[in-house]
Amino acid sequence: MKRSNHKFSVSTLLLTTLLSTGVFTAFSQSSDDHTCGAVNVHNPGVTYSQVADIDGNTYKTVVIDDLVWFAENLKVTRFQNGDVIPNVNEAAVWSGLTGPGMCSYKNDTSYDCPYGKLYNFFVASDARNPCPNGWRVPSLADLYKLIFFLDPNANPQQPGNMPNKAGGALKSSGLTYWRSPNTNATNLSGFSAIPNGGRNDAGAFSFSNDAAASYWLSTQVGPGMGFFLELAYPQDYAVRNAYFAKYGCCIRCVADLSTLSTEESEVPRFSVFPNPANDYIQIKSDERMNGEEYVITDLTGRLMLRGMLSDNLTVSIVELPSGMYFLRFPTTNWGVSKIIKE
């Protein structure tokens, strides 16, 4: 994989900024474990970071060029504003959807680790956005940028078609998840794509989930269709393809590294006192905050507390062990504050 030294140094600098703000937490380079505990997913030679969604699910992330990509499949159940994404099990209901819908592969939630949820294109293209604040469902332009970075010799007129060698650098290596031969899979990028199965517009699930990985883009092809990224076991290229909007595919969120680091490193639009604290914290802000949802996560992004702010804007932290935590309001852009429990 060809890298520009200039781009790499800029990405490294911005990643350092993100880590220092507490937005991301770096993982050991020797870990190939998924955040849900599944093994042999990631590249142990890549440093991953972590981010949480509105439900408190955590995901490893990886910097590729000047973009930050989810290295795990989305499994959120709500849009960024808190609206619920309908979970649809029945095939007849799924086939009749004209709006957002999601499900687990074969309607079995045990597949959520590590495969994530399946979403239709109505979710991927919805302005309410299923990704965390500062993140988005990738566009066609994001995909082309990814392919060209991994393979500068990709076809400039059709970078989402053959020939390109980006697919091998995106796929998780080995045969733990992929069907043989998993051609030229190196996971050099750290993207860690694993096959995920799918659901067609009639509501039927694919027979197996070891052959291909498909990820929605937010870009519409035409009425009732959307673009997606496809990776498959017998090939080492990345394919830009199109499905009907009712198809169920996975989602990988993406963010601009420079924008994300700038937004998240700003001073939070609220203050916390006392800090350090023993039993409760008080929130102060010029924003109207009563009734807002808050989440408190530990240094690994694990959800520790969630609730709604009361009129007196206090949060009990009695149940938290001593240590450092992060407080955020997931449906807002008010930033993140470190809190210390004594």
> How many other CB atoms sit within 10 Å of the CB of residue 166?
26
What are the 10-residue block averages of pLDDT along the chain, 342 residues in total?
Answer: 35 40 39 85 88 90 92 97 97 98 97 97 98 94 94 76 86 97 96 96 94 97 94 94 96 87 61 93 89 82 85 92 87 83 92
Q: Tens of pLDDT along 155-211?
A: 766 766 667 899 999 999 999 999 999 999 999 999 999 999 999 999 999 988 999
Model pTM score: 0.75
Cis check for the bond before 330: say yes or no (omega within 30 of 0).
no
Kindly write down the DSSP assignment for every residue of 120-186, as one continuous string: -HHHHT-TT-SSPTT-B---HHHHHHHHHHH-TTS-SS-TTSSS--HHHHHBPPSSSSSPTT-TT--
Q: Which fold has domain 268-341?
A: Immunoglobulin-like (2.60.40)
Please write the tens of the pLDDT for every residue from 145-165.
Answer: 999 999 988 876 676 666 789
Would you list the domain boundaries of the chain?
A: 5-258, 268-341
**What pLDDT score was predicted for residue 297?**
82
Residues with Cβ within 8 Å of 88's Cβ and at least 6 positions away in sequence, in order, are 94, 97, 101, 102, 103
Predicted local distance difference test score (pLDDT) of residue 3: 36
Length of the chain: 342
